């Protein structure tokens, strides 16, 4: 039976570390600040934003949510972002996706200053992640997966990692992180349309699945002893209760009998995502404090 990798437990440890760093910043006169822009009233987005507000409060980050009408146009939204870019009390800016129809989300994300792009979606930060430049911000989910592997002491050096999925916010940056000096993994990037997908997944020492299709990965598609990281979040009907439940992309019960370690859904990768967003925000605040101290000719104790 596979060992369960608890993102909930690891996230708790990380948040304690983040809170300590935030407190150190406050002692120096810097209050870490995260501004979240919510356009319209999408129910799921509203729930996600509320969770981020609660998470910020718990670790000592000043969370600010700007709730904007669905009728806002591009130039008005740009104006809001420009104001936050210029605000020294705001260290991180996040635009909650999806945006209403008619708003160009790529242009909106590019409007955020790269130094405040704690989501890691600005092209400059995407490029920096690709070349393993630590000055950039890595998207929260890939960063969370890397932290899970590190904290669970799952070796990546020379190991074969197969990623199922090709998204710009999870799979592609994750492949770059895993291949970088340090992790030194060999990475195969696949997707649901890959011919004979199982022939690739069965070669994986570490199998990471981020597609959004429940039950895509079955036990016969997993190498015995592999580590399986399930990023999928799918809501399906629950015949037992008549309601719904959340499952991943992996047939958890069956694959647990084959793998050596596996993340559950929920409770695996999910809790890590907001946590890594918090860490990026504190990183941004520390960088801001160092820049300010340098301009004033003062030493800073933040690292």
Catalytic annotation, residues = 52, 96, 119
Burial of 54 (0-12, 13-18, 19+ CB in 10 A): exposed
According to DSSP, residue 188 is labeled: E
- Between CA 201 and CA 180 the distance in angstroms is 21
- Between CA 208 and CA 228 the distance in angstroms is 6
- Between CA 116 and CA 136 the distance in angstroms is 10
Which of 122, 91, 54 has the alpha carbon at shortest distance from 283? 91
Q: In this structure, what token pair is assigned to residue 80?
A: 């809001």
Chain centroid to CA 157: 22
According to DSSP, residue 240 is labeled: T
């Amino acid at each position: 039976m596979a060992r369960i990798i608890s993102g909930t437990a690891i996230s708790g440890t990380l948040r304690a570390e983040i809170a300590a760093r935030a407190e150190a910043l406050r002692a120096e006169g810097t209050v870490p600040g995260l501004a979240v822009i919510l356009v319209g009233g999408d129910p799921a987005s509203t729930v996600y934003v509320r969770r981020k507000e609660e998470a910020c409060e718990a670790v000592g980050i000043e969370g600010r949510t700007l709730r904007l009408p669905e009728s806002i146009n591009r130039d008005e939204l740009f104006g809001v972002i420009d104001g936050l870019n210029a605000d020294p009390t705001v260290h991180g800016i996040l635009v909650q996706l999806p945006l209403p129809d008619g708003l160009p989300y790529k242009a909106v994300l590019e409007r955020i200053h790269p130094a405040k792009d704690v989501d890691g979606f600005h092209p400059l930060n995407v490029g920096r992640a690709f070349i393993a430049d630590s000055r950039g911000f890595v998207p929260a989910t890939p960063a969370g997966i890397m932290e899970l592997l590190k904290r669970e002491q799952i070796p990546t050096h020379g190991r074969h990692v197969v990623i199922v999925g090709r998204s710009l916010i999870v799979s592609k940056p994750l492949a770059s992180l895993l291949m970088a000096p340090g992790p030194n993994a060999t990475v195969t990037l696949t997707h649901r349309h890959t011919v004979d997908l199982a022939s690739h997944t069965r070669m994986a020492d570490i199998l990471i699945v981020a597609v959004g299709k429940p039950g895509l990965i079955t036990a016969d598609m997993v190498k015995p002893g592999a580590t399986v990281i399930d990023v999928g979040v799918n809501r399906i009907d629950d015949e037992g209760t008549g309601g719904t439940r959340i499952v991943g992309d992996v047939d958890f019960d069956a694959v647990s009998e084959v793998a050596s370690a596996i993340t559950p859904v929920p409770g695996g990768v999910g809790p890590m995502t907001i946590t890594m967003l918090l860490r990026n925000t504190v990183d941004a605040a520390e960088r801001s404090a160092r820049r300010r101290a340098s301009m004033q000719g003062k030493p800073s104790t933040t690292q």
